[in-house]
Amino acid sequence: MKKNNNLNFLKIKRDIRDVYHLFLCILYLVIVTLIITIVNSLLLKYITDTMGEKYAEGVVLDLEKTWEESDPRTPLICFLSMGSDPTDSIIALGKRLKTETCCVSMGQGQGIHARKLLHLAACWALLQNCHLGLDFLDELMDTVIETETVHESFRLWMTTDIHKQFPITLLQMSIKFTNEPPQGLRAGLKRTYTGECQNGNDAKLTFLHSTVQERRKFGSLGWNIPYEFNQADFNATVQLLIQCMFNFCINLTVCYMIGEIQYGGRVTDDFDKRLMNTFVKVWFSENTFSPEFSFYKGYSIPKATMVDQYLQYIQSLPPYDTPEVFGLHPNADITYQSKVSKDVLDTILSIQPKDSSGGGGETREAVVARLADDMLEKLPADYVPFKRVISLVRSTLTDLKLAIDGTIVMSENLRDALDCITLGFWFTELLERNHQFYKWIFESQPNCFWMAGFFNPQGFLTAVRQEITRANKGWALDSVVLCNEVTKWMKDDITSPPSEGVYVYGLYLEGAGWDRRNMRLTESKPKVLFEIMPVIRIYAEHNTVKDPRLYSCPVYKKSSRTDLNYIAAMDLKTRQPPEHWVLRGVALLCDVK
């Protein structure tokens, strides 16, 4: 009797501990969620209050002042940042000062050309991408120091990415600067505007240039891939527009050149190319010549003829831009703030020691060992086709426990497992995947498939297309196209499979909301970043034509929208034009963790 009481007591104690840990996890998630959304604004407020407002605003680089501080024996090193190349600005400054600028892009075999360039007298030498020519930099430093006579007009400009093997001595003897992309539309327009921008086309182009750069900060909602649009793209497009005006090119030609070549030439993702062409289609159409046209409320084409008037208009723009200016939903600002705050917090955490403190709580290793025991207990038995995965997980958890005990050496793979095991999302999904496959293999085909449960969803969709093709005599696989229909049901409402095709569930809509009554896209609810979709029926049709009124929505495995994560595209009904959702960056995701 006493033994049973002790066992009951231990069970109650363990249950209380589990509830306590659950409470701490929930509290932690609430606090982190609140902190992540306000860290950036709090940091800006702190800097403004303690140092002054000018330190919280972006600074436009003044290369002429930088040049005035230099001398012939002091190199000027620019640290490159995405979307900002100082080459054109350096060359333009040299022209204003009536000095020739000679450039060499460093890399394999370019040292000989750089060596000749350093011996030119009254000119500026610009060595680009010096991180690709690190072997030459020691010789470069000796040349700068030991050369007896140097022309007073000579200047050595260098651009480089940050590299740990860059010579420290060279950095110490140089003037260092960076030309970061401006933060905000107003700052971007101010930097981009030049004396050439004095007509409506250039006003639209400057807005487009600043917009495509600003969308990068919104992550995958802005661009699937963050492209390095820079001043060279803008300058080349300005020259194109000038030629088009002299040659009376039609507007369709201008749109194609900008969307496919001038800016579109950098774009490698198909859906990003669609986004770029949508911007050009909307902002370079005939409607832009209407007096009522505006990019967004309060952002119109200024009625001005002089550059000073344009700059005055730019200064009147709001200091903070709502995401709607760039075609996005206001919720995109939460994504941006969370991204910035997460980067700041991750940087802080990365420099913290990972060893446990000397307090009375559980050590980090003890927590991991307890979690490994729990996972081993829940891990299913090996079976085909999950045998290799389950065996690998089981052996990793077993070895991790032995390494924590000191029985075996902690390898690099085990150290990674030690750092990541507390994030049990992958293990939870493994158990859910196992549940779906086990029932499918040993019981019957599921009425509704969990889309995220497939390691290769593309293969699953291909199998669906093949099965429907075989079921319809006379159909050729090459002419069969997958189609989809969003139902009104959720997963628990499905009691039987469809007569043809399959039901899938577990997809999340990002960038938009879903109107279940009318079964079409709608604007996202405030502060709701993802919305679970109803069950979707996937079927196939023969020689069908896509309805252009539907929005072709890309589907990805993860929130990182790369080609590796791309699955397929689904057609969604919409009341607005499809271009509206293209600018919103709407996509379906299998996993939002």
Question: At 7, which helix (H) or strand (E)?
Answer: helix 2-51
Distance of CA 326 to the CA centre of its chain: 16
- CA 339-341-342 angle, to 5 degrees, is 65
Single-letter amino acid, residue 349:
L
CB atoms within 10 A of CB 510: 25
Nearest to 129 by CA among 188, 174, 86, 72: 86
Residues 6 or more apart from 332 whose CB is under 8 A from it?
218, 221, 222, 323, 511, 585
3-state class of 178 per DSSP? strand
In terms of pTM, does the model score above 0.85? no
CB atoms within 10 A of CB 131: 17
Nearest to 178 by CA among 262, 245, 85: 85
Residue 5 has pLDDT above 60, yes or no: no
Most confident stretch, 227-241, 362-376, 578-592:
578-592
Can you tell me the distance from the alpha carbon of 510 to that of 517, in angstroms, rounded to the nearest whole number?
A: 19
| pLDDT average, residue stretch 74-84 | 86
| pLDDT average, residue stretch 340-367 | 71
| pLDDT average, residue stretch 550-569 | 95
Q: Determine the pLDDT at residue 576.
A: 95
Torsion sign, CA atoms 388, 389, 391, 392: positive
Q: Considering all CA atoms of the chain, what is the largest pairwise distance in Å, rounded to the nearest integer? A: 100
Average pLDDT, the chain: 86
Q: Which of 2-6, 31-35, 274-278, 495-499 has the lowest mean pLDDT?
A: 2-6
| pLDDT tens figures, 519-536 | 999 999 998 999 999 999
Place of tokens 């072997």: 135
- Which DSSP state fits 254? H
Place of tokens 């940091």: 43
Place of tokens 């969307």: 259
Can you tell me the distance from the alpha carbon of 107 to that of 115, in angstroms, rounded to the nearest whole number?
A: 13
Backbone angles phi, psi at 380, to 5 degrees: -75, 170
575 versus 349: which is more confidently predicted? 575
Q: Determine the pLDDT at residue 105.
A: 92
Residues 6 or more apart from 84 whose CB is under 8 A from it?
179, 180, 181, 230, 231
Residues 6 or more apart from 167 whose CB is under 8 A from it?
134, 137, 138, 141
| pLDDT tens figures, 287-317 | 777 778 888 888 888 887 777 888 888 888 8
125 versus 350: which is more confidently predicted? 125
| pLDDT average, residue stretch 186-205 | 66
pLDDT band (50, 70, 90) for residue 198? very low
Contact (CB, 8 A) for 537 and 485: yes
Query: Measured in Å, how far apart are the chain's first and last C-alpha atoms?
Result: 48
pLDDT band (50, 70, 90) for residue 577? very high
Place of tokens 């480089």: 160
Most confident stretch, 146-150, 248-252, 333-337, 518-522:
518-522
Residues 6 or more apart from 97 whose CB is under 8 A from it?
67
| pLDDT average, residue stretch 427-450 | 91
Residue 228 has pLDDT above 90, yes or no: no
Contact (CB, 8 A) for 457 and 404: no
Provide the token pair at 487.
Answer: 């139902």
Q: Determine the pLDDT at residue 131.
A: 93
Q: Determine the pLDDT at residue 32.
A: 60
6 versus 239: which is more confidently predicted? 239
| pLDDT tens figures, 147-165 | 888 888 899 999 999 898 9
pLDDT band (50, 70, 90) for residue 422? low
Can you tell me the distance from the alpha carbon of 85 to that of 439, in angstroms, rounded to the nearest whole number?
A: 56
Can you tell me the distance from the alpha carbon of 129 to that of 476, in angstroms, rounded to the nearest whole number?
A: 53
Distances (CA, A) of 481 to 10, 470, 486, 570, 589: 60, 14, 17, 11, 21
Q: Determine the pLDDT at residue 6.
A: 56
Contact (CB, 8 A) for 160 and 127: no
Can you tell me the distance from the alpha carbon of 162 to that of 131, in angstroms, rounded to the nearest whole number?
A: 8
Residues 6 or more apart from 577 whose CB is under 8 A from it?
none
| pLDDT average, residue stretch 449-458 | 93
| pLDDT average, residue stretch 339-363 | 70
Q: Which of 161-170, 195-204, 207-216, 272-281 has the lowest mean pLDDT?
A: 195-204
Q: Determine the pLDDT at residue 524.
A: 96
The CB-side HSE value for 309 (13 A sphere, CA atoms) comes to: 10
